[in-house]
Amino acid sequence: MMFMTPHILKNLFQKSATRMYPLEQREPFERARGELAITVEDCIFCGACARKCPSQCITVDKKTATWTLDPMACICCGICVTACPKNCLQQELVYRRPCTEREQISRQGEIRRRPRKVKPADEEKKAA
């Protein structure tokens, strides 16, 4: 007991080594790979992010223009951000919030159809 007393006294009066989370939160590091976010207006639903994701946590449905992420499976590697041809994925400087239920993040975009090419034969038919 005599051996431990100085350590006990030191621990009682020195500054705590841990933070009072969530009251006191640490600022993320400058180049931290935080939570994944999408600017769905720029997404063309090509599915490159879903194909490259090592955790298979992205689902892209081109027919319904829906992009879905399972945030609890995401390991924040950033491969999808690099793979996206439209630069519409970003990793924000915020860490994933604690949660009690597993939920999916789903974003709905616009279904874009390519304008149909008009063949010269069609134009002739219209003119006739």
- Contact flags string 82-121 toward ligand SF4, x per CB under 6 A: -xxxx-xx--------------------------------
| CA pseudo-torsion sign 68, 100, 25, 77 | negative
- Residue 86 or 95 with smaller CB distance to ligand SF4: 86
Work out the burial of residue 70: count CB atoms within 10 Å of its CB; fewer than 13 is exposed, 13-18 middle, 19 or more buried: middle
Shortest distance, position 122 Cβ to ligand SF4, whole Å: 31
In the structure encoding, which two tokens stand for residue 27, read together? 């600022």
CA distances from 32 to 36, 77, 124 (A): 12, 10, 59
Tell me the window of 1-9, 17-25, 81-89, 110-118 that interacts with ligand SF4 (CB under 6 A).
81-89
Q: Exactly one of 55, 59, 66, 68 binds ligand SF4 (CB under 6 A); which one? A: 55
- Residue 9 or 73 with smaller CB distance to ligand SF4: 73
Would you count residue 75 as binding ligand SF4 (CB under 6 A)?
yes
Closest to 35 in 3D by CA, of 60, 72, 83: 72
Shortest distance, position 38 Cβ to ligand SF4, whole Å: 6
Q: Amino acid identity, residue 78? A: G
List Cβ neighbours of 70 (8 Å cut-off, separation of 6 or more).
Answer: 57, 58, 102, 104, 105
Interface positions with ligand SF4 (CB under 6 A): 36, 38, 43-49, 53-55, 57-58, 60, 74-80, 83-86, 88-89
